[in-house]
Chains A and B, each alone.
Chain A
Amino acid sequence: MVKQKSLRTLVAAATAALLLPASANAETVKIGVVMTFSGGAANFGKQIGQGMELFMQEHPEAFGGHTVELIKRDAKHPGGDVAKAAVRELITREKVDMLAGFVFSPNAIASAELVTQGKVPMVVMNAGTAWITKLSPYIARVSFTMWQSGHPMGTYAKETLGCETAAVGYTDYPPGKDSLNAFQTGFEAAGGKVVDAIPMGGPREVPDFTPFFQRVKDAAPDCLYVFVPSGNHAGAVTKTFADLGMRDAGIQLIGPGDITQDTELQGMGDDAVGLVTMHHYSADYDTPQNQAFVSAWKAAYGADSTPDFMAVAGWDGMAAIAHVVKTLDGEIDADAAMEALAGWTFESPRGPIMIDPETRDIVHDEHVHEVVKDGDRLKIKVIDSIAQVKDPCKALKIGKCGE
């Protein structure tokens, strides 16, 4: 009996010894993905998720022989509570190595404390409130900040579009206020003057924009900067703008590129033509990287499907995760992961990107987009570009960005 047992132990030990080096070479890295997969914003989670999966499918070699397992959780709404509970569960029960996703800023903000305590690197793939990366040393962002588009748009409106005065209409929730502050700071630093800032209701229902726009029309500024959720809000904005004859009255409609999201652009109707926005991505970019990305996307998800800036954040975020997995050889340690992410550069479909080593935030090119008509579809035309924009909110140390 004794002999038999020791023999069995020996065999087991020998087998383990044989297997050990092999398993160290091919780790399975668990990634907790917290995004909104249901409700009205389900499309956002879907876009990011498809972007992540497309990268895994197209570039399996980028993970250095290791595999990643995505454990998805639905964050549902932007309230923060559901996302936080999901993050807690993913860290404590699933013992994930990294976290990714986060469509809405409140969800990323609510989870920050947990990733600090649990020492789990978190890759933000959308949430654009500028100071999110300030909340934890384990947060890196691959998407954008509201300031990266709003602030340069303010400068551009004054210096290139020649607007001396501007009115701002914004949907009354955090990203709207963020975008207003960003635009106002940039515009007024360049010597322009914001004559009116109009909260235009909450993000849920589309208001009749007529009273707000009539007010702007009567005030007659040179530019009207609008931040509203993309989709039905943005479509109603361009229609009301056209209905009231505001362009003929000499007012230029501008905004951040969020309002001309690729997936929603065709639904905005012809009145969107002439709209000028500032953004970091459109599926219409004719760079080789982007064309390869878009054709891979269409091959995977159908010819009618189009990627948008959220899909690109999913793709780039997965590339960042692959870089971490490869660099650390599958053994994820939070501090080493953040070190690997600092200064990481990548040729994204949006152009060259980098994770700023100081702020752990994305650095990318911003482009001035104009909506034009191409045949019977609406198209984004790039009319100007600004290279390698860092988040101006943290650079200028404004509000919570400076703390």
Chain B
Amino acid sequence: MLVSIVFDGVAYAMILFIISVGLSVTMGMMGFVNLAHGVFAMAGGYFTVSAMVAVGMPFLLALPGAAVLVGVASLVLERLLYAPLYNARELDQVLLSIGIVLMAAAAFTFAYGPGPVSIDVPDYLSGQIDAGFRTFPTYRVFLIAVGAVLAVALWYGVERTTIGARIRAAVDNRRMAESVGIDVDSLFRFTFALGSGVAALGGGLAVEVLGVSPGFAIQYLVLFLIVVSVGGLGTIKGTLVAALVLGVIDNAGKYLWPEGGAFIIYAVTIAILLYRPHGLFGRSHG
């Protein structure tokens, strides 16, 4: 029982982590309140479905395809819509990004209908893996593997490469980074596209577990924001730990006490934020 709670919780946490990590970094770096982040995940989910159903692209190709396409497309949005509001008030940013969410919901309803769409994952990802003492659903093992690889890759990229050092510098102190010659704007564009692309990958992975419908970006918005705020802005480690803590606790709550389990995640969030208002790994700078 404990094994399944932790295992399922970690699998769920990986979806939360993959979708939220980009939001955490871009919010930490630019201080931009991008509530439309879930739109990129939703777009990734729809792209995955379209690529597989209409073109017959294999699942493992459709996922990175979604990430690249959505990452590039997000740059267009960034230039057209986000850039003019970088120095605007937070309220304006919130209104802009919520507007994008609502327009995306309408656009996807127009293109795909209001109902959900789904995919059939390849046979080697469905069914069970027998680990001897018990069986594990293959797809969730796959989720954990992808999440782990991505976490290591992002950690390495940010902690061990020059571009990662620049990103960290920009998150820590944007003005100082700019004054030592880092082009924060183009760095941000890169990070934004990367974060959106990773979210699209998360969206593609989520189709099998949560399904995807035009309401996706708004239905799960609260969950993504909770992960980001509990983890702390601008940290990959924080987002990962927050996703794991919340995923496992949410799972345990729903398993052991379904009548009240859905609320546990909010109680934990409040408790953590009361104790650490800037999140588990966040720092108090703006």
Q: Does A162 contact B (CB under 8 A)?
A: no
Q: Does A64 contact B (CB under 8 A)?
A: no
Q: When the two chains form their complex, are residues B4 and A267 in contact, meaning their CB atoms are under 8 A apart?
A: no
Taking a contact as CB atoms closer than 8 A, the residue among A205, A264, A267 that contacts B219 in the complex is: A205
Q: Is the interface of B mostly helix, strand, loop or mixed?
A: helix
Sorting the interface of chain B by its residue count into under 10, 10 to 19, 20 to 34 or 35 or more gives 35 or more
Q: When the two chains form their complex, are residues A269 and B11 in contact, meaning their CB atoms are under 8 A apart?
A: no
Q: When the two chains form their complex, are residues B209 and A236 in contact, meaning their CB atoms are under 8 A apart?
A: yes
Q: When the two chains form their complex, are residues B258 and A239 in contact, meaning their CB atoms are under 8 A apart?
A: no
Q: When the two chains form their complex, are residues A43 and B115 in contact, meaning their CB atoms are under 8 A apart?
A: yes
Q: Does A3 contact B (CB under 8 A)?
A: no
Q: When the two chains form their complex, are residues B254 and A207 in contact, meaning their CB atoms are under 8 A apart?
A: yes
In the complex, which of the residues B118, B119, B253 has the most CB atoms of chain A within 10 Å of its own CB atom?
B118
CA distance A140 to B269 in the complex (A): 48
- Which chain A positions have C-beta within 8 A of B253? 211
- Which chain B positions have C-beta within 8 A of A212? 254-255, 258
CA distance A167 to B139 in the complex (A): 25
- Which chain A positions have C-beta within 8 A of B140? 210, 243
- Which chain B positions have C-beta within 8 A of A200? 258
Instruction: Count chain A residues whose beta carbon lies closer than 8 angstroms to a beta carbon of B.
Output: 40
Taking a contact as CB atoms closer than 8 A, the residue among B113, B120, B254 that contacts A211 in the complex is: B254
Q: When the two chains form their complex, are residues A214 and B259 in contact, meaning their CB atoms are under 8 A apart?
A: no
CA distance A218 to B208 in the complex (A): 23
Distance of A248 from chain B, by nearest CB (Å): 8
- Which chain B positions have C-beta within 8 A of A239? 118, 208-209
CA distance A245 to B138 in the complex (A): 10
CB nearest to A237 among chain B residues: B211
Q: Does A42 contact B (CB under 8 A)?
A: yes
- Which chain B positions have C-beta within 8 A of A42? 114
In the complex, which of the residues A39, A207, A210, A244 has the most CB atoms of chain B within 10 Å of its own CB atom?
A210
Q: When the two chains form their complex, are residues B120 and A43 in contact, meaning their CB atoms are under 8 A apart?
A: no
Q: Does B87 contact A (CB under 8 A)?
A: no
CB nearest to A169 among chain B residues: B258
Q: When the two chains form their complex, are residues B137 and A244 in contact, meaning their CB atoms are under 8 A apart?
A: yes
- Which chain B positions have C-beta within 8 A of A330? none
Contacts A42-B114, A205-B220, A232-B213 known; A269 to B119 CB distance under 8 Å? yes
CB nearest to A244 among chain B residues: B137
Distance of B209 from chain A, by nearest CB (Å): 6
Within A204-240, the residues touching B (CB, 8 Å) are 204-208, 210-212, 214-215, 218, 231-233, 235-236, 239-240
Q: When the two chains form their complex, are residues B116 and A267 in contact, meaning their CB atoms are under 8 A apart?
A: yes
Distance of B133 from chain A, by nearest CB (Å): 15
Q: When the two chains form their complex, are residues A214 and B12 in contact, meaning their CB atoms are under 8 A apart?
A: no
CA distance A236 to B120 in the complex (A): 12
Q: When the two chains form their complex, are residues A215 and B258 in contact, meaning their CB atoms are under 8 A apart?
A: yes
Q: Does B214 contact A (CB under 8 A)?
A: yes
Within B22-55, the residues touching A (CB, 8 Å) are none
CA distance A50 to B135 in the complex (A): 48
Contacts A201-B262, A245-B127 known; A231 to B115 CB distance under 8 Å? yes
Q: Does A155 contact B (CB under 8 A)?
A: no
Distance of B274 from chain A, by nearest CB (Å): 25
Q: Does B251 contact A (CB under 8 A)?
A: yes
Within B82-119, the residues touching A (CB, 8 Å) are 113-119
Q: When the two chains form their complex, are residues B118 and A267 in contact, meaning their CB atoms are under 8 A apart?
A: yes
CA distance A268 to B208 in the complex (A): 11
Taking a contact as CB atoms closer than 8 A, the residue among A43, A218, A235 that contacts B118 in the complex is: A235
Within B234-277, the residues touching A (CB, 8 Å) are 250-256, 258-259, 261-262
Q: When the two chains form their complex, are residues B213 and A245 in contact, meaning their CB atoms are under 8 A apart?
A: no
In the complex, which of the residues B113, B140, B254, B261 has the most CB atoms of chain A within 10 Å of its own CB atom?
B254
Q: List 11 A-B contacts (CB under 8 A).
A: A39-B114, A40-B213, A43-B115, A200-B258, A206-B210, A207-B210, A208-B8, A245-B128, A264-B116, A267-B117, A269-B119
B residues bordering A, Cβ < 8 Å?
1, 4-5, 8-9, 11-12, 15, 113-120, 126-128, 135, 137-140, 208-215, 219-220, 250-256, 258-259, 261-262
**For the complex of A and B, 9 pairs with smallest distance between CB atoms:** A232-B116, A232-B211, A205-B219, A211-B254, A243-B137, A211-B255, A210-B8, A198-B258, A211-B251
A residues bordering B, Cβ < 8 Å?
39-43, 198-202, 204-208, 210-212, 214-215, 218, 231-233, 235-236, 239-240, 242-245, 248, 263-264, 267-271
